[in-house]
Amino acid sequence: MIKTVDLTKKYGDAFAIKGIDLDLQPGDLFGFIGPNGAGKTTTMRIIATLLEPTWGEAYVCDHSVHTAPKEIRRLVGYMPDFFGVYDDMTVVEYLEFFAASYRINGTKRQQRVNEMLDVVDLDFKRDAFANTLSRGQTQRLGLARTLLHDPQVLLLDEPLSGLDPRARIEMRNLLRKLGEMGKTIIVSSHILPELADVCNKVGIIDKGELKQNATKAEVIRMVRQHTVLLIQPAARDRMDELMKLLSSHDKVQGCELGDDAVRVVLKPEVEQFSDLPRWLIEQGIDLRSFSEEELDLESAFMALTKGTSDRM
C-alpha cells in the first residue's frame, strides 16, 4: 500500500531525511514518532506528492510519486498539522466546498458530507461557523475533509497536537475507528504515549534517519537487553528476605527494593524464568504477584534516539 525505498531529501548539504525505507500494508496504523524537525513532515509530504525527493522512490498502491502523482492524490488524504478554515462558512458549507473540489456532485455530495460528520461525531456543529470551533473540533473537521473522497491512505501530521486531554481521547478513538475501516494510516507525533495504544507498527525517526521500523513489541524488545520482573510477596515484612533469596539465584543479575515489590533484573542470556515462582514458594515465600515489567514506548524512544535508557 505504501512503500518507500532509500527516500532522501536534501537542502544544500543538509539532509532533511536520509534513506527512509517503509513498507506498510492495508489496514496498518503506523505511528511515526520523532522530535520536532526529525523529518516526519518531509516524509509525509513526499508521499502525498507535495514535495519532490532528492533521490529515492515512494509508491502508493504501486503508483510512483515520480510518474503518477495525480493517481496518488486520488488515493491519499493528507491532513497537515495546521490548516485554515474560512470565516464565513458553516461546517456543512466548508465540507461541501471541498467535496465539490473532489468532483463529488448532486445528492452524493450531501450524503458524503453527512456520513463524514457522523464518522467524526461533528453533526451537532453542522450549522456552526467553522472559525468558532474548538481546537479539537477543528481537528475533527479537518479529518472529515480529508476523508471526503474516501482515500485508501491517510497521512495525518500531528493530529493530536494542541488538544486538551478529552479531545485527545476522542481523536485516538477516531483513529481506531479508521483503522477498523481498513485504511492504511501514517500518523505522526512527538507526544509519545498518545500513539502507544492505537498503532500496530511504529517508526522512530531522529535527525532524518529511521532508527527503528517494526511492531511496538519488536521495538521494545530491540531496546531492552534484560528481562525485568516485579515480584511482590504476600507478606510485606518479608521483602528483605525475598531480596536476599533472589540476589543469590544464578539467573538474577541484580535486585532493587521498590515501595511494594522487588524489581529483579535477569542476566542477559536468561529467556526462561517460569521456575522462579515455584522456587520462591519452595523457599517459603508466598507470592502476591509475579509479573514482567513492561517497557513503554516512550522509554524505547529515548533509548533509540539517545542510546541510553534509565530503565535498562
pLDDT for 286: 93
Whole-number Å distance between alpha carbons of 52 and 206: 21
pLDDT for 295: 60
For 18, 38, 43, 161, 243, the CA distances from 210, given in Å and listed in that order, are: 8, 9, 11, 22, 41
164-182 as b/e: b if 16+ CB within 10 A:
eeebbebbbebbeebbeee
pLDDT for 209: 93
pLDDT for 311: 39
Question: How far out from the chain centre does Cα 227 lie?
Answer: 24
pLDDT for 308: 39
Q: How many CB atoms lie within 10 A of CB 205?
A: 24
pLDDT for 309: 39
pLDDT for 312: 37
The DSSP string of 228-288 is EEEEEESSGGGHHHHHHHHHTSTTEEEEEE-SSSEEEEEPTT----THHHHHHHHTT--EE
pTM of the full predicted structure? 0.74
Could you tell me which residues come within 8 angstroms of residue 104 by beta carbon, excluding any fewer than 6 positions away?
112, 148, 149
DSSP character for 296? P
3-class SS at 288? strand
The half-sphere exposure of 82 on its side-chain side, counting CA atoms within 13 A, is 1
3-class SS at 150? coil
DSSP character for 228? E
Q: Which helix (H) or strand (E) holds 266?
A: strand 262-266
Dig out the grid coordinates for 212 from the structure: 527503528
The pLDDT profile of the chain, 312 residues, written as one tens digit per residue, is: 899 999 999 999 999 999 999 999 998 999 998 888 899 999 999 999 999 999 999 999 999 999 999 999 999 999 998 877 788 899 999 999 999 999 999 999 999 999 999 999 999 999 999 999 998 899 999 999 999 999 999 999 988 887 888 888 888 888 888 888 889 999 998 766 667 778 888 888 989 999 878 776 676 666 666 788 999 999 888 999 999 999 999 999 999 988 889 999 898 888 789 999 999 999 999 999 999 876 656 666 666 665 433 433
Residue pointed to by grid coordinates 452524493: 108
Dig out the grid coordinates for 160 from the structure: 493530536
Domains plus CATH for the chain?
2-222 (3.40.50.300), 225-294 (3.30.70.100)
